[in-house]
Amino acid sequence: MAGNDKGDHFSLLAFIDGRLAAFGSLHLRPGGWKRHIGKVHFLTSPAHRGLGLIDLMVNEIIEVSLHCGLSKLETEINGEREVGIKALQGAGFCELIRIPDYIQDISGQPHDYVLLGMDLIPSFENLGTGD
């Protein structure tokens, strides 16, 4: 975990043939009304989409989140990233809100904003261990 004045963060990188293929991160808030919610981000290189890299990263970040004492995770995604949304839903995320034409791509084209969230359920072996 690395820290800064906005909280701690944990990053995962996936390399294929020496090139960065995917990135995942978990951001912890140091206090406030969302301190129990970890914010996660994922990005896959277009050349490496569909390989299941995000599935692996999501599962690893969920495990780390449980050891950090979080009870929820949230992530934001472009509504057109259907494969990514399905991968996150397969890991336990659900769509919390969708706002049509709320975000813009680099060329100014509008896209739906989607907020996904999940409740974290600690495994039995992690209960009361005082990580």
At 89-111, the pLDDT tens digits run 999 999 999 999 999 999 999 99
Q: What is the pLDDT of residue 84?
A: 86
* Per-domain residue ranges of the chain: 2-126
Structure tokens at 113: 């904003």
Q: What is the CATH number of domain 2-126?
A: 3.40.630.30
Q: Which residues contact 42 (CB under 8 A, 6 or more apart)?
A: 22, 23, 24, 25, 54, 57, 58, 75, 84, 88
**What is the per-residue pLDDT across 14-53, written as a single tens digit (0 to 9) for each?**
999 999 999 999 999 988 999 999 999 999 999 998 888 8
67: pLDDT strictly greater than 60: yes
* pLDDT for position 123: 66
For the entire predicted model, the pTM comes to: 0.83
